[in-house]
Structure 1
């Protein structure tokens, strides 16, 4: 089951709808607790948004832990998701 779409802003000032399974949406909303709607879901240790280099480190660490032998990136995951969707 897909949740209502969330709006995201893409390059070129275009608006995109992001669809996800209801279970994922509920898990993300639970992580937010009672944070304001404009607060980041995944925050840094300083409680702000994650910077680009921090996201890269998370992806690289997760890739290694998962035993994926290829070099991957956030864009690689995005492309894979779009291809499979």
Structure 2
């Protein structure tokens, strides 16, 4: 059984975490690989939660582009890992 309230809380918490992690500023963020990894993980959480929300919940907020959230989350994660692999040679 889906629990949209739980998924929405996961999304809210992930956004709050991302904001907190990025609060150190752009340069500090890009200098801290662990922080970047944490943000990538939270983007994954956002995407997975968006995918699992019921159609009824999504329909109540047509102004939110749910598919884009889910799609960008997946694309963002893949792109970031690809960039790291290409740079590090791993």
The two structures share one fold, judged by TM-score above 0.5: no
Q: Which has the higher helix share?
A: 2
- TM-score, reference length from structure 2: 0.23
